[in-house]
Structure 1
Amino acid sequence: MSDTRQRDEIAALGKSLFDRGLTFGSAGNISLRLEDGWLMTPTGSSLGDLDPARISRLDRSGCHVSGDAPTKEAFLHMAMYDCRPAAGAIVHLHATHSVAVSCLQDIDPANVLPPLTAYYVMRIGTLPLIPYFAPGDMDLARAVREMASDHHAVLLANHGPVVAGRTLRDAIHATEELEETAKLFLALRGLKTRPLDPEQVADLRRRFPVAT
């Protein structure tokens, strides 16, 4: 895919996320791996009106080489890419229901959401919670790096999800599944629920292994 088409894809899919309320204002960022570096959404930009020509380009060492300055959370993306060489794209959103779950006191930090649906197991699997760090704190990158080798999706406490995929569409579809499962989880709190049992989860993982 050409550089122009990759930039256009980021802008089009970013607008789709924005228009459907999965991100808002200047929150959220997207990156795409290239053969010789990365494309990243610029700092302070809205995913709803990205200018493809102004999307940031970084070289293999992570240095900004063209376009507007990259997202302030570029270090999160780089930490995930460092641990997941097959990942082709990363999406980080402040999606409302995912963030709401990340603020709850009684969730399991090793696996935040129960396996409510087959597609959640197929697209996310296990979702660890990363402890809270202030935006821009490099300890956050270190915490993400500790989890990223074993998990292509993590939830930042009081912040939101970071999800890697083989392609940008894969990363977005997984992020959407996470957000919908978070919404279901919140809707079902206080009610007797029937998540998938361990045998059903194991069967899904055999049939549809998550690989990024």
Structure 2
Amino acid sequence: MSKETRLREEIVTVGRSLHMRGLSPGSSGNISARLDDGWLLTPTNACLGELDPGDIAKLDWEGNHLAGKPASKEAFLHHAVYAGREDSGAIVHLHCTHSAAVSCLDCLDPHSALPPLTPYFVMRVGRLPLVPYHRPGDPRLGEAISGLVGKHSAVLLANHGPLVSGKTLEAAGYAIEELEETAKLFLLLRQQPVRLLDEEQIEELRQTFGAQW
């Protein structure tokens, strides 16, 4: 089985899993994976729970459509991440409920929209910068994240949702799930005294697991 065939099938599997657990309502969200000769991206207006491997779009690095159905209109977001992070092998972008809810709050730290509540969030996601609002499909959104992705594997798009990259599709999927669970914890704990991880505890995660915080 070729790498491309394997990744097409893996995108279908991950998309179905995310959709079945309510993390990608309707036709929202998109998934991509890097190839040696370009990259794969889920089609526009596609339900992640009903993907067909052959329908997944293939693009080259100039944005030319090579195969499959037309790519998501948010292709430029994925391209900006791949251009800024050579170690990114896959990207997942969702409109999952709790992360999207957090992205609408007006009290967030733009440098780290979610605090270090758990070691797993620090390890799998790291600091989560908030990207100012742009309408869906606005190319300026790609420009806005291009200056962040070199230092961060995940960003939160204001009034929109999370965008997470990983070395593999599995890693990106696990990371965005961890982000969604942390967003849920954050909302549950609002108005309550919270004990965050301190700098010494975060440094231990850096030294032990290579956490980027």
Amino acid paired to 2:43:
P
Measured in 1, the distance between the counterparts of 2:99 and 2:200 equals: 26
Determine the structure 2 residue equivalent to 1:200: 201
* TM-score using structure 1 length: 0.97
Q: CA deviation at 1:210?
A: 4.2
1:48 aligns with 2:49: yes
TM-fit CA distance, 1:2: 2.9
Tell me, yes or no, if structure 1 residue 33 matches structure 2 residue 34. yes
1:91 touches 1:162 (CA, 8 Å); kept in 2?
yes
Which segments of 5 or more consecutive residues in structure 2 lack a partner in the other structure? none
Q: Deviation per CA, 1:174-210: give whole Å up to 9, x if none.
A: 0000000000000000011111111101111121114
Question: Runs of 5+ in structure 1 lacking a partner?
Answer: none
Three-state SS of the structure 1 residue aligned to 2:50 is coil
Structure 1 consecutive aligned stretches of length 4 or more whose deviation exceeds 4 Å: none
Aligned equivalents of 1:170, 1:118: Cα separation in 2: 16
Deviations 1:71-117 (A, max 9, x none): 00000000000000110000000011001001001111110111111
2:205·2:211 contact (CA, 8 Å) conserved in 1?
A: no
Separation in 2, partners of 1:5, 1:89:
13
Query: Which residue is equivalent to 1:88?
Result: 89
The alignment's C-alpha RMSD in Å is: 1.0
SS in 1 for 2:32: strand
The 3-state SS of whatever aligns with 2:148 is helix
Same amino acid, percent of matched pairs: 57
The answer for the alignment partner of 2:139 in structure 1 is 138
- Contact 1:30 1:40 (8 Å CA) reproduced: yes
SS of 2:117's equivalent in the other structure is coil
1: CA distance, partners of 2:146 / 2:152? 10
Indicate conservation of the 8 Å contact 1:131/1:157, yes or no. yes
Q: CA deviation at 1:61?
A: 2.1
**Partner SS for 1:162:** strand
Aligned length: 211
1:122 partner letter? M
1:62 CA drift (Å): 2.2
Determine the structure 2 residue equivalent to 1:148. Answer: 149
CA distance in 1, matches of 2:211, 2:85: 13
Contact 2:99 2:179 in 1 (8 A): yes
